[in-house]
């Protein structure tokens, strides 16, 4: 499973990329707005930090303008994945960009039939929002299972990118279901390192080592 980081904070991206565990980055207008910086500058800097896909989102809602925005974003770097909403205009734009060889992320997916449309439009990634579904009482992980099953039936090339991840449990379940990617807020990735028994065991090992009076270096 690939891990993307869902942030536009360049310091967070650099810090987590240094672990060697980050395969890409997802951004959106809200995340970039928090930086207070120029949108295009932020995307370009992120693309220089990670080698994997960097999702950069169009803000237009009509096809013609969205396509122009997508082409401009794609010019920033080869690893830009142009993000578009799951709307008729968004999918039309996705198809045009895909036909031109540009990676595309289709976002705001909340049903399996929407995911089928995105795959047929040539999306590189489909981004179902599990946390937001659970906020309204629906089963977000069942959606992931449904999409993975459908994609396997037809050998779609679109990767399932699990979004709106609220904690390590979502990551574990998504991995069990065979999702290709999880995009994680930085704090969720950091939570995944933690377990009380790991901390307890390490403390015991270090205490025992200290009693020996030895050093390795």
* H-helix segments, the chain: 10-17, 29-35, 39-49, 63-74, 88-99, 112-120, 130-135, 140-154, 168-177, 186-192, 196-212
- The whole-number pLDDT of residue 50 equals 97
- The whole-number pLDDT of residue 155 equals 86
Query: Among this protein's residues, is 2 annotated catalytic?
Result: no
**Residues with Cβ < 8 Å from 197, sequence gap 6 or more?**
none
Identify the structural domains of the chain with CATH numbers, from first to last: 2-212 (3.20.20.70)
Statement: residue 13 has pLDDT above 90: yes
- Catalytic one among 34, 68, 72, 83? 83
DSSP annotation of 95: H
The C-alpha atoms of residue 54 and residue 66 are separated, in whole angstroms, by 18
Q: Which residue has the tokens 């930086």?
A: 35
DSSP annotation of 86: S
- For the stretch 86-108, pLDDT in tens is 999 999 999 999 999 999 999 99
- For the stretch 130-185, pLDDT in tens is 999 999 999 999 999 999 999 999 989 999 999 999 999 999 999 999 999 999 99
- The whole-number pLDDT of residue 91 equals 98
């Amino acid at each position: 499973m690939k891990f993307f980081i869902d942030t536009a904070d360049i310091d967070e991206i650099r810090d987590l990329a240094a672990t060697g565990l980050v395969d890409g980055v997802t951004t959106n207008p809200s995340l970039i707005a928090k930086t207070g910086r120029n949108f295009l500058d932020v995307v370009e800097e992120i693309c220089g930090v990670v080698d994997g896909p960097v999702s950069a989102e169009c803000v237009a809602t009509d096809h013609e303008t969205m396509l122009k925005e997508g082409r401009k974003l794609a010019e920033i770097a080869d690893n830009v994945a142009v993000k578009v909403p799951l709307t008729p205009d968004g999918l039309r734009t996705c198809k045009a960009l895909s036909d031109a060889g540009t990676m595309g992320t289709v976002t705001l997916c909340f049903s399996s039939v929407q995911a089928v449309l995105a795959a047929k439009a040539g999306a590189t990634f489909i981004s179902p929002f599990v946390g937001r579904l659970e906020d309204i009482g629906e089963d977000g992980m069942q959606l992931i299972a449904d999409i993975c099953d459908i994609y396997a039936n037809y050998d779609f090339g679109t990767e399932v990118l699990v979004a709106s991840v609220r904690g390590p449990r979502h990551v574990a379940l998504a991995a069990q279901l065979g999702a290709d990617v999880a995009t994680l807020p930085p704090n969720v990735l950091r939570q995944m390192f933690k377990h009380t028994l790991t901390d307890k065991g390490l403390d015991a090992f270090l205490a025992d080592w200290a009693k020996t009076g030895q050093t390795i270096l």
